[in-house]
């Protein structure tokens, strides 16, 4: 599942549980380390672009 489709309309808590990171805080830390931005900034950048991976 592409990251953009996974986080599109899902809360950070739900994504964290789905990918096994447990908490939103843990997901945010790992997300920032991997992508270089926060999940909310990523969503704002890619929301509604229809980009597929």
Give the tens place of pLDDT for each residue, 12-48.
Answer: 888 888 889 999 999 999 999 999 999 888 888 877 6
> Among candidates 7, 15, 16, 18, which has minimal Cα distance to 40?
7
Phi, psi values for residue 38, rounded to 5°: -80, 160
Distance CA 17, CA 3 (A): 14
Would you kindly state where each structural domain of the chain is located, as residue ranges? 3-46
Read off the pTM. 0.64
The residue that leads in pLDDT, 4 or 24, is: 24
Question: Angle, to 10 degrees, between the axis of helix 12-19 and the axis of helix 24-35?
Answer: 80
Is residue 47 helix, strand or coil? coil
């Amino acid at each position: 599942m592409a990251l953009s489709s996974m986080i599109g309309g899902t809360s950070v808590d739900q994504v964290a549980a789905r990918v096994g990171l447990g908490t939103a805080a843990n997901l945010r830390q790992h997300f920032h380390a991997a992508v270089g931005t926060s999940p909310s900034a990523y969503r704002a950048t890619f929301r509604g672009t229809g980009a597929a991976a």
